[in-house]
Structure 1
Amino acid sequence: MATRRVALAMVLALALCAVGIGASSRGPGCRKHVKRITDYGAVGDGKTLNTAAFARAVADLSRCAGDGGAALVVPAGRWLTGPFNLTSHFTLYLRHGAEILASQDLNDWPLIAPLPSYGRGRDEPGPRYSNFIGGSNLTDVIISGQNGTINGQGQVWWDKYRAKELTYTRGYLLELLYSRDIIISNVTFVDAPSWNLHHTYCNNVTISGVTILAPIHSANTDGIDPDSSSHVKIEDCYIVSGDDCIAVKSGWDEYGIRFNMPSQHIVVRRLTCISPTSAMIALGSEMSGGIQDIRVEDSIAINTESAVRIKSGVGRGGFVRDVFVRNLRLHTMKWVFWMTGNYGQHPDNSSDPKALPVVTGINYIDVLAENVTMAGRMEGIPNDPYTGICMSNITAHLAPKAKKLQWNCTDVQGVASGVWPKPCPQLGAVGKPCTFPEDELVIGPPELPKCTY
């Protein structure tokens, strides 16, 4: 009897899905069923709060998951809403001129539990504010369109954070948890309250053709943060940020060590980054579950503090290994190479002094930089040196007011060939040319879906 009731419920759900939902022109990755947010009573005047409309739309279209999936189309207009979640086998499609605006009323942002690999909120202890767009345990999620905008309207959050007026950690603009087969493409993200795209405990993630914009002095507006996630591809993205353009993470101190889920098999290519106070790509600082097999190539940084930076410290544990970087073009840099072994900020003001990170196998190939203040600031950890660093075919043209000391190296070991200015003795051994993996990681579909709704 129970089996018959379940079967009847599934048939009823599919029948309801088919009622009143327009079908799209089908193609690979395109959804069978399509509705507009206006079908749920939303008003795109930038003033009407549409939180209930987005919630109804996602709940309604979730019934189509087993019947070809569904797309929610957001037309041109300014659609104000509080936080909302996505569902599986679902596309959020923003047409040209569409802008989803995050409510600036903190009462519209419910509290949610901290991430288990962080143990508490990142800014403050305890729970955290909801993310603007979220979802957990999802499969086959697409956020795409005709370069519409998702606007976090983050100024109120930055002001309150700096004034120490927030009791809880700010939410992120987009956070997906325990999810797989995600595509984010042809969308602009603007003014996040804190981090922009935070996919956590996820697998098979493609982020392509995305623009992320925030004032260069905004608070902690990381661009893209893969966190304890595997098989992630980030390509053809343009990021202007008040923090790291990309930050690969895997949990925070004892919580990340206990959760034990690394970030691995991550590809970044054709990235353009502007971030005067932070890194083009950071590995850490929260990396206690480990980071491995990171491949960065064919990318540009302009007026950015450093290129590919490693951030760790005593108490972090974990590892950073098998990092491969090639063909970077860097314009106006404070440090081309920066490794930090004394990065602070520990949860609960405690950490295990015996939890030392392992950093090894870091390769830099074909890097050309200009207007550089200092070539390298390389700081490992006493009695826990960073090893296996390899640099080849690297030139840093110095700024008019460059520092006289171009390399400052402690507790690091490596080899170099064809590097100018001449590196520090710790990296001065002559070795074989650095390597870059020849195999291609298979991430996402061979081509992005070409769907018009």
Structure 2
Amino acid sequence: MIEIQYSNKIQISNLTLINSPSWFVHPTYSSDVLIHGLTILAPIDSPNTDGIDPDSCTNTRIEDCFVVSGDDCIAVKSGWDQYGIKFGMPTRHLIIRRLTCISPDSATIALGSEMSGGIQDVRAEDITAINTQSGIRIKTAIGRVAYVKDIYVRRMTLTTMKWVFWMSGSYNQHPDTNFDPKAFPEIKGINYRDIVATNVTGAARLEGIAQDHFTGICISNVTISLSKTPKELQWNCTNIAGVTSNVTPEPCHLLPKKEKVDCAFPEDRLPIEDVHLKTCCTTKTA
């Protein structure tokens, strides 16, 4: 519905967007992007109706948005397989604040699966999700290369979820057959803290890649209350490594407990935080 490319100093604010045929808001190859106060509405059974997809963008702030979607409410991207590798433009320095999401079949915030230019330094806080498939989902696969790293999430309130945490290393959708089957992505430095989730089917589905484990995962101060029909295996973990602290239900053995750990959240300010909204208007004259 709205796609902006190769631009800087972009402001998209105070709009209601309804029934896009595909992604709603897609800033691409851009910098200094401010997205504020959007209401995005799509049928919950409509595929590919992502809400906001920052793609190969630097210095982006998304805040105070309400998204109802049949796909990911926010999907962070940076190019697909060999095409994203060749272009080589990461998404980095991204802030997401005060997002409310409803999406029964997809994620509140997805990282990938198109992440072949890299995703780094994403800071998400004060997130609310209702009747949504997952909280934060990392989607990648062999052939992507690049990285998803330095991800920081805190203060999430989640109600009626399939999975609170989900990482997929086998998201094997490719634009063609020319991807490199030996190209492994790097997933590390993933930090989640201060999360309350209720009516949850499964706590976590964390699936790294056998030849390429996801590392540096930290989860702290998380309380998950289960639904009436929860999954028997609450923490489904393979090919990952990290730590947990003050997390219930008890995590898998690949995320051992450590006392008094608060997972990291940066204290420095990004330049986009000091950019202020401007209200513009026009006046008709006779």
Query: How would you bin the TM-score normalised by the shorter chain?
Result: over 0.9
Q: Give the match for residue 12 of structure 1.
A: none
Given residue 9 of structure 2, which amino acid in structure 1 is its aligned partner?
D
Given residue 353 of structure 1, which amino acid in structure 2 is its aligned partner?
P
2:122 matches 1:276: no
**Aligned pairs (5 A) from 1:33-52:** none
Given residue 271 of structure 2, which amino acid in structure 1 is its aligned partner?
V
SS at match of 2:150: strand
Q: Which structure's residues are more often strand, by fraction?
A: 2
Q: Give the match for residue 168 of structure 1.
A: none
**Aligned pairs (5 A) from 1:69-148:** none
Given residue 220 of structure 2, which amino acid in structure 1 is its aligned partner?
S
Aligned partner (choices 226, 236, 246) of residue 74 of structure 2: 246
Which moved further from structure 2: 358-367 or 420-429?
A: 420-429
2:281 matches 1:434: no
**Distance in 2 (alpha carbons) for counterparts of 1:444 and 1:182:** 14
Q: Give the match for residue 169 of structure 2.
A: 341
SS at match of 1:256: helix
What is the CA distance between 1:445 and its match in structure 2?
5.8
SS at match of 2:221: strand
Given residue 257 of structure 1, which amino acid in structure 2 is its aligned partner?
I
Quick one: higher RCO (CA 8 Å, sep 6+), 1 or 2?
Answer: 2
Q: Give the match for residue 60 of structure 2.
A: 232
Aligned partner (choices 40, 60, 74) of residue 212 of structure 1: 40
What is the CA distance between 1:446 and its match in structure 2?
3.8
- On the 8 A contact 1:205/1:444 being kept in 2, the answer is no
Aligned partner (choices 305, 308, 312) of residue 133 of structure 2: 305
What is the CA distance between 1:429 and its match in structure 2?
4.1
What is the CA distance between 1:405 and its match in structure 2?
1.1
Q: Which has the larger radius of gyration?
A: 1
Q: Give the match for residue 267 of structure 1.
A: 95
Q: Give the match for residue 236 of structure 2.
A: 408
Q: Which structure's residues are more often helix, by fraction?
A: 1
SS at match of 2:164: strand
Structure 1 stretches lacking a partner, 5+ long: 1-172
Aligned partner (choices 272, 279, 285) of residue 450 of structure 1: 279
Given residue 171 of structure 2, which amino acid in structure 1 is its aligned partner?
Y
CA RMSD of aligned residues (A): 1.1
Q: Give the match for residue 193 of structure 1.
A: 21
SS at match of 2:254: helix
**Distance in 1 (alpha carbons) for counterparts of 2:36 and 2:82:** 33
**Distance in 2 (alpha carbons) for counterparts of 1:450 and 1:276:** 34
What is the CA distance between 1:349 and its match in structure 2?
2.8
2:236 matches 1:372: no
Given residue 113 of structure 2, which amino acid in structure 1 is its aligned partner?
S
SS at match of 1:443: helix
**Distance in 2 (alpha carbons) for counterparts of 1:179 and 1:333:** 37
SS at match of 2:20: coil
Q: With structure 1 as the length reference, what TM-score do the two structures score? A: 0.61
**Distance in 1 (alpha carbons) for counterparts of 2:269 and 2:26:** 24
Aligned partner (choices 418, 425, 430) of residue 253 of structure 2: 425
Q: Give the match for residue 148 of structure 1.
A: none
- How many equivalent pairs are there? 281
Which moved further from structure 2: 341-350 or 264-273?
A: 341-350
**Distance in 1 (alpha carbons) for counterparts of 2:49 and 2:217:** 29
**Distance in 1 (alpha carbons) for counterparts of 2:85 and 2:74:** 22
**Distance in 1 (alpha carbons) for counterparts of 2:209 and 2:174:** 17
Structure 2 stretches lacking a partner, 5+ long: none
**Distance in 2 (alpha carbons) for counterparts of 1:429 and 1:385:** 19
Q: Give the match for residue 143 of structure 2.
A: 315
**Distance in 2 (alpha carbons) for counterparts of 1:195 and 1:446:** 26
**Distance in 1 (alpha carbons) for counterparts of 2:235 and 2:93:** 30
- On the 8 A contact 1:414/1:429 being kept in 2, the answer is no
What is the CA distance between 1:444 and its match in structure 2?
6.7
- On the 8 A contact 1:186/1:208 being kept in 2, the answer is yes
- On the 8 A contact 1:253/1:317 being kept in 2, the answer is yes
